Structure 1
Amino acid sequence: MQRVTVTLDDDLMTEIDKLIAVRGYQNRSEAIRDLARAGLRQAAQQEGSQEDNVGVLSYVYDHEARDLARRLTSAFHSHHDLTVASMHVHLDHDNCLEVAILKGPMKDLQHFADHVIAERSVRHGNLELIPAPGTPATVSPSKHGHVHGS
């Protein structure tokens, strides 16, 4: 692990300290490491990283909508190379929640998620992108000496 000295203005440090209190970090270093990882993920997204990433696609849809279930199933079959697993939950009489775990290049995951979320009668959708374990933004040594993804 590297030690780095950083000078931050008082207002920024106050905001970081608030984050530390809200999220329950044990110290400033843990919080700043997480913020750095988040910044690296954002930069990778903006650059369209070709490295494999993990994506969690969640969306709520009207299961009675005409042909929607068929179209969604067809979309997932057409992108079987990106799909790792999925889960289907009946929320109520009209709404279903699907959660799909995806893996692949960031731009491919984003393109696929955009397609699913844009389907008519998909009421809510979100893609959370996470660099795949082993990429620089996720590697951190544990207290046991081996590497964990964040």
Structure 2
Amino acid sequence: MSVVSISMPEALLERIDAFADEHGYSGRSEVVREGTRTLLEEFQGQDIDGQKHACTVTVVFEYCQPAVQQRLTGVRHEYDAIVSATTHAHVQDQYCMELYVLEGTTEALSEFVNTVRAVQDVRAVDYSITSLDRDPIEKTTKS
């Protein structure tokens, strides 16, 4: 097995250590491996013949971070083909929250989420995917 060196804030490292202890992991490496597997597999198995999905993406960042807001606006324009709506809100006088409503294939949704996750100084990214039936007639009905 290869050894990889990564940098992370001390507070995050402390949370990983506490999580490992609380949940019976052998150590940090096991937690990071499992988290990485989960991240890499999160969109697999959801793409059925290019079926479209609706998706909401919530992004949180600290208030007074215009550079983050500007980068997120750039992402929104880059993915204009799948972004149906956006809204901006202030939360707890400390954070800004962007909510995106998307419609597209899992590949396109995954690209959007991963691009937003890569924006520096974003504190949290959460999403929810809802499958859209391509043809409601294909549903089984009682006669």
TM range, normalised to the smaller chain? Answer: 0.5 to 0.7
Once the two structures are superposed, the pairs formed by residues 27-46 of structure 1 within 5 Å of their partners are 45-46=44-45
Secondary structure of residue in 2 paired with 1:113: helix
Q: What code does the residue aligned with 2:64 have?
A: E
Identity %: 20
Secondary structure of residue in 1 paired with 2:111: helix
Q: What code does the residue aligned with 1:68 have?
A: V
Alignment RMSD, CA only? Answer: 2.9
- Whether 1:103 and 2:103 are equivalent positions in the alignment is yes
**TM-score if structure 1 supplies the norm length?**
0.56
Q: What code does the residue aligned with 1:48 have?
A: D
- Rounded Cα–Cα distance in structure 1 between residues aligned with 2:135 and 2:61: 33
Cα distance per residue 1:11-47 (max 9 Å; x no partner) = xxxxxxxxxxxxxxxxxxxxxxxxxxxxxxx998425
Q: Which residue of 2 aligns with 1:76?
A: 76
Q: Which residue of 2 aligns with 1:120?
A: 120
| 1:133/1:99 CA distance change after superposition, 3 Å | farther
Deviation at 1:107, TM superposition (A): 1.1
Deviation at 1:120, TM superposition (A): 1.6
* Aligned pairs, number: 100
Contact conserved, 2:43 with 2:110, CA < 8 A, in 1? Answer: no
Once the two structures are superposed, the pairs formed by residues 12-51 of structure 1 within 5 Å of their partners are 45-46=44-45, 48-49=47-48, 50-51=50-51
| 1:134/1:77 CA distance change after superposition, 3 Å | same
Deviation at 1:69, TM superposition (A): 0.6
Deviation at 1:64, TM superposition (A): 2.2
- Rounded Cα–Cα distance in structure 2 between residues aligned with 1:44 and 1:109: 9
Contact conserved, 1:63 with 1:69, CA < 8 A, in 2? Answer: no
- Rounded Cα–Cα distance in structure 1 between residues aligned with 2:59 and 2:42: 25
Q: Which residue of 2 aligns with 1:86?
A: 86
| 1:119/1:140 CA distance change after superposition, 3 Å | farther
Once the two structures are superposed, the pairs formed by residues 130-145 of structure 1 within 5 Å of their partners are 130-134=130-134
Q: Moved runs in structure 1, 4+ residues, more than 3 A?
A: 42-45, 133-136
Q: Gaps spanning 5+ residues in structure 1: where?
A: 1-41, 142-150
Q: What code does the residue aligned with 1:79 have?
A: Y
